[in-house]
Every structure is written in structure tokens, then in C-alpha cells.
Amino acid sequence: MSGPNVAPAPPLTFVIFGATGDLTRRLLIPTLINMTRSGLVGDDLHILGIGIETGGVEMLLERFESFLATSGDMQDSARQEAWQRLRKRIAYISGDFTQNAVYEEIAKYLSQAPNANAAFYFAVPPRFFGDIAEKLSANGLVNETIGAFRRIAIEKPFGHDLASARELNARLLSHANESQIYRIDHFLGKETVQNIMTTRFANMMIEALWNNNYIDHVQITAAELVDVGMRGKFYDATGALRDMVPNHLFQLLAMVAMEPPNSFDAESIRNEKGKLLKALRIYSREEAAKNAVRGAYTAGPLDGNNLPAYTETADVSPDSNTETFVGLKLLVDTWRWAGVPFYLRTGKAMKARDTEVVITFRQVPFAQFPRHESRPELPPNRLIIQVQPDEGLDMEISIKSPGLVLKTAPVSLDFRYADRFDIGKQTGYESLFYELFVGDQTLFQRADGIEAGWAAVQPFLDLWAEGGKPDPYAPGSMGPACADELIERDGRTWHRPEDAPAVKKG
């Protein structure tokens, strides 16, 4: 995507609702700086910020600059130069986006813009998504004309359950076409997530084994070292399941498990991902209770600090039963995956930052090698897709241990992106923005995929809404004991973060 061979995005006005907010200054502006620097956008990109705060564009620029000064983003001169170029093309309209007046001003601005292309980015609390789309439409701002596009990009969370996601989709689709709607999942901007498709579909030796004849089970982990911190209000109403599973973890799962698409165009890929997510087994209440565990971190030391318990976090109810960890065993009802469990887990305040997909292959059917005390079993092959940190791919195989005695030894063939490529400092939004600007929806979620994801987690939401408390786990651990039981009762174990190459290296 990035790099010198890619043509710059077409001219457009990028309208950011929520321009004075946290996401804009922390991620959107640094992304646009990176894109300006690498030539992914040219001087015909114009930015129009919308916010309720009064003041002119100088107020907004000062906000951005004071953030950039402290973030360490501007330490190299190329970025500073890119910012100087970009800042000249930023405008601001102060107004309340729940009222019509601001849309009239946006219409006026766009009518005087050098070209009619526009992408509207909703960097606003989710309760405003439907309203803004409705008002844009009522003011004729999403009408496309020949040669001029109008697009809407929507941040997460997309709904808070199946019913609300359906309602939001229906509302958006009554004002814009699916081809104009870009639902963001920032995991899809990660290089290693995009690499899952290449790993599978560019390598015969991998894809040929990619089914229940050879794969024993799949683990998807998104462990975070960070705790809930200052996000108590948002998090207590959300929890680990809603925050991470139907979006980020299911995107990883879909990439890993989908059928090969007929082509790499957006619709073919999204068709396959949608089909896969619709094949996730929808559990009964009893099955949901058996196949899901949840936890909340207690007080304790984490990363050199003394972390208060989740329930003592600012803006979290002391008797909260929101989970900060979730573990699931899911099944995909397709010919390819019948009988292969997918174990998923994610949580905050855990032992390490480690997002990975671990594919464990079946044991060889018959092994003549003598077993020895230190290794009574021949370990299965594993393919580890290290999403972050230290992006890479590891293949665990057995070799002969040197010496006269025939012994096997496990070794890991490690590939790290940073060892081979100059990936630079990216926010992860660069490829998403580029595709939004050029009109490629591959890295965005389609309505059916989102709804299928929510349908698969709804039984767990319903179950936990009945009451009960998450199990406690110590900060710096890998979650509650029930998470180990979930997988160990099947005779398997979680891949340990200390086994991850990134952690081994550190």
C-alpha cells in the first residue's frame, strides 16, 4: 500500500466530525502527516474540522501542535516539513453537529472547494453516528455526482449488540449506499493482519494444509498490558467482549478461516469473510455458559506500578460485573473447519502485550523417534502469526538434534518484519485512509459481516445480562484460572506469551 509505487490519492476534502477530540489529535492527524510525508496524499487534500468548541482554525491548529510537540511524532524533520505543508490546508467550522446550521456551512464550504469529492469521518461518540448521517443526507451532502464521490467513514463501536447494530445499519443505509459506507476496524490497517491473506493464499505449503485434516485447533489472543485507566466510563458500559471480539478478533478469525476469494477485489473478499462469520455456531444458552469465561482484574503490581482493582477505577461502578477479560471456544460450521475449535481470549492488565494467531497442527500419525525424558511427546507443528508487537511469522518444526543418538528437537523458523523491511513509524490508519480516499472497501466491514459477528456473541451477552460476576485475575497474569480450564478440559493448553518471539527477545 505505502511506498513510492503507489499513486497519490485523488483530490478531496476530508471532513472530520469531532476534530477537537482525542482520536483526531492522537491518530488522525499523525496519520495524515505520515501520508503527506510519504506522498500517499498530495497538496490537493483539504481538511475541514467540525467541532462544538468555539474559536477559529488557529484554536484547532494550536491544539494539534501542542499534542504533536509532546507526542514525539515530530522528531524527524521530514514529518515537521509534512506538517507545515498540511496545516495550510486545514479549515475549521465551529458548530453543533446535532443542529442543521453546521451542515449548511459545510455545504457552502464544499461548494467553494477546488473539487467536489468529500469523505466525512465520524470521530464522534457512537450515539451521534445515525444523526450525522441523517443530517448530511438531508442537506444533500452524500449525493454523488458524475466524477465526484461522497463517502462516510464510521469509527467503532458499531452498535452494542445485534439489535442496535442492525438498527444502525438500517439507518445508515437509508441515507447512503453500502458502497459509500466505510466502517472502520483499525485491526484491518495492521500490516500483519493484511499479511494473513498473503501467508495463506501465496503459499501452497501452507494453504494445502489449511483444514481439519491437518489443523488441530486455532488460538487467537489479544492480550494487553494496559489497564482500563481513564476510560472507565466507556469501558464499564462495554466490557472486553463487546470492545474486542465481534470486531477485531472476528476480523482475525475471518482472515484465518475464510475460503479463498475468487479475486482480491473488495466484494469477493467481503463475501468470503461474511460467509465465514455467518458460519460461526450460534450457541444455545447452555452452550454459551459452557464455552465462555470472563474475568476482571484485581488490585496488584503491574509493570512497576500498583494497579487498583478494575472496580476501583475512576468512573467504574464498585459493584460492576463488567469483564476485563474474556475467553471463548467457538466452532465454525463449515466442511473445512468441522471439529476444529477456535479458542479466543483478550483482556487488559495482562502479562504482556501480545496479539497473535496460533495454528496448531495435528500430531504426525505415527512417530518412530524414541521418546526421551525431557520430551515424552513429539510437539505438534505450529504456525504463529505475530500481529503485535514485533510483527512477524514463526514456524515451529521438529529437527534432528545433533549427535549420534536419534533425538528430535523443536526449532522455530522466525521471520520478523523489522529485520527485512523498513516499516517506519506508522499509526496503522494510513492504509485505511488511503483506501477510503481511493474508494477501495477491502479493509472495511460490510453490514452483513458486522451483524453476523454480533449474532455470534449475542448468546454470551444475554447470558451475562442475567447476572453473575467475572472471575478475578491478578494483574500481570494471563487471565483467570477458568480460562485455562476452558482449553485444558479439551487436553490442550494456551500458547504462553513468554513463548512469543517478541517476549523471548525482550
Ligand X SMILES: NC(=O)C1=CN([C@@H]2O[C@H](COP(=O)(O)OP(=O)(O)OC[C@H]3O[C@@H](n4cnc5c(N)ncnc54)[C@H](OP(=O)(O)O)[C@@H]3O)[C@@H](O)[C@H]2O)C=CC1
Phi, psi at residue 294, to the nearest 5°? -140, 160
**Of 156 and 273, which CB lies nearer to ligand X in the complex structure?**
156
Residue 21 touches which member of ligand X, ligand LXAUTJHC, none, C-beta under 5-8 Å by kind: ligand X
18 contributes a contact to ligand X by CB under 6 A: yes
351 is in an annotated binding site: no
Tell me the HSE value of 135 on the side-chain side, using a 13 A CA sphere.
Answer: 20
> Which residues is 302 bridged to in the sheet?
305
Q: What is the DSSP letter of 246?
A: I
Nearest partner of 8 among 40, 47, 46, 45, judged by Cα: 40
Q: What is the DSSP letter of 370?
A: P
Nearest partner of 114 among 87, 92, 89, 135, judged by Cα: 89
97 contributes a contact to ligand X by CB under 6 A: yes
55 contributes a contact to ligand X by CB under 6 A: no
224 contributes a contact to ligand LXAUTJHC by CB under 6 A: yes
Contacts 24+ apart (CB under 8 A), 487-492: 487/219, 487/327, 487/329, 487/343, 490/217, 490/329, 490/341, 492/216, 492/217, 492/343, 492/360
**Of 199 and 427, which CB lies nearer to ligand X in the complex structure?**
427
Residue 243 touches which member of ligand LXAUTJHC, ligand X, none, C-beta under 5-8 Å by kind: ligand LXAUTJHC
267 is in an annotated binding site: no
431 contributes a contact to ligand X by CB under 6 A: no
**Is residue 248 annotated as part of the catalytic site, yes or no?**
yes
Q: How far is CA 278 from the centre of its chain?
A: 19
Pairing of strands 354-361, 215-223: antiparallel
Interacting residues of 385 by C-beta distance below 8 A, sequence separation 6+? 192, 195, 196, 199, 256, 356, 357, 358, 359, 393
Strand spans (E) along 213-285: 215-223
Residue 224 touches which member of ligand LXAUTJHC, ligand X, none, C-beta under 5-8 Å by kind: ligand LXAUTJHC
Phi, psi at residue 393, to the nearest 5°? -145, 135
243 is in an annotated binding site: yes
For ligand X, the binding residue among 8, 9, 14, 21 (CB under 6 A) is 21
217 is in an annotated binding site: no
| Among 46, 248, 372, 495, the one annotated catalytic | 248
End-to-end CA distance of the chain: 30
Residue 495: all three cell numbers together: 500458547
Separation between Cα atoms, residue 236 and residue 229, nearest integer Å: 11
Q: Mark 111-130 with x for binding to ligand X (rule: CB under 6 A) and - for no binding.
A: ------------xxxx----
227 contributes a contact to ligand LXAUTJHC by CB under 6 A: no
Q: Mark 133-172 with x for binding to ligand X (rule: CB under 6 A) and - for no binding.
A: ----------------------xxx---------------
Phi, psi at residue 382, to the nearest 5°? -135, 145
Part of the chain binding ligand X (CB under 6 A), chosen from 68-76, 92-100, 198-206, 401-409: 92-100
In terms of Cβ atoms closer than 10 Å to its own Cβ (0-12, 13-18, 19+), residue 26 is: middle
Site size for ligand X (CB under 6 A): 19
> Which residues is 256 bridged to in the sheet?
none
For the bound state, the minimum distance from the C-beta of residue 224 to ligand LXAUTJHC, rounded and expressed in Å, comes to 6
For the bound state, the minimum distance from the C-beta of residue 354 to ligand LXAUTJHC, rounded and expressed in Å, comes to 10
Q: Mark 137-166 with x for binding to ligand LXAUTJHC (rule: CB under 6 A) and - for no binding.
A: -------------------x----------
Separation between Cα atoms, residue 280 and residue 175, nearest integer Å: 30
**Of 98 and 412, which CB lies nearer to ligand X in the complex structure?**
98
Separation between Cα atoms, residue 299 and residue 473, nearest integer Å: 9
20 contributes a contact to ligand X by CB under 6 A: yes
For the bound state, the minimum distance from the C-beta of residue 186 to ligand LXAUTJHC, rounded and expressed in Å, comes to 6
H or E element: which one contains 29? helix 29-38
Cell 488441530 belongs to 216
135 is in an annotated binding site: no
Residue 116: all three cell numbers together: 467536489
53 contributes a contact to ligand X by CB under 6 A: yes
**Residues from 352 through 391 that contact ligand X (CB under 6 A):** none
Query: 3's torsion region: left (phi>0), alpha (psi -120 to 50) or beta?
Result: left
38 contributes a contact to ligand X by CB under 6 A: no
Cell 494473513 belongs to 196
For the bound state, the minimum distance from the C-beta of residue 390 to ligand LXAUTJHC, rounded and expressed in Å, comes to 13
**Residues from 348 through 387 that contact ligand LXAUTJHC (CB under 6 A):** 355
22 contributes a contact to ligand X by CB under 6 A: yes
Q: Would you call the peptide bond into 475 cis, given omega within 30 degrees of 0 as the criterion?
A: no
Phi, psi at residue 489, to the nearest 5°? -65, -15
Cell 498540511 belongs to 86
Separation between Cα atoms, residue 405 and residue 371, nearest integer Å: 11
Site size for ligand LXAUTJHC (CB under 6 A): 5
97 is in an annotated binding site: yes
73 contributes a contact to ligand LXAUTJHC by CB under 6 A: no
243 contributes a contact to ligand LXAUTJHC by CB under 6 A: yes
- Tell me the binding residues for NADP(+): 18-25, 96-97, 156
> Which residues line the annotated binding site?
18-25, 96-97, 156, 186, 190, 224, 243, 348
Residues making up the annotated binding site for substrate are: 186, 190, 224, 243, 348
Query: Active-site positions?
Result: 248
Residues that bind ligand LXAUTJHC (CB under 6 A): 156, 186, 224, 243, 355
Rule CB under 6 A: which residues touch ligand X? Answer: 18, 20-23, 26, 51-53, 96-98, 123-126, 155-157
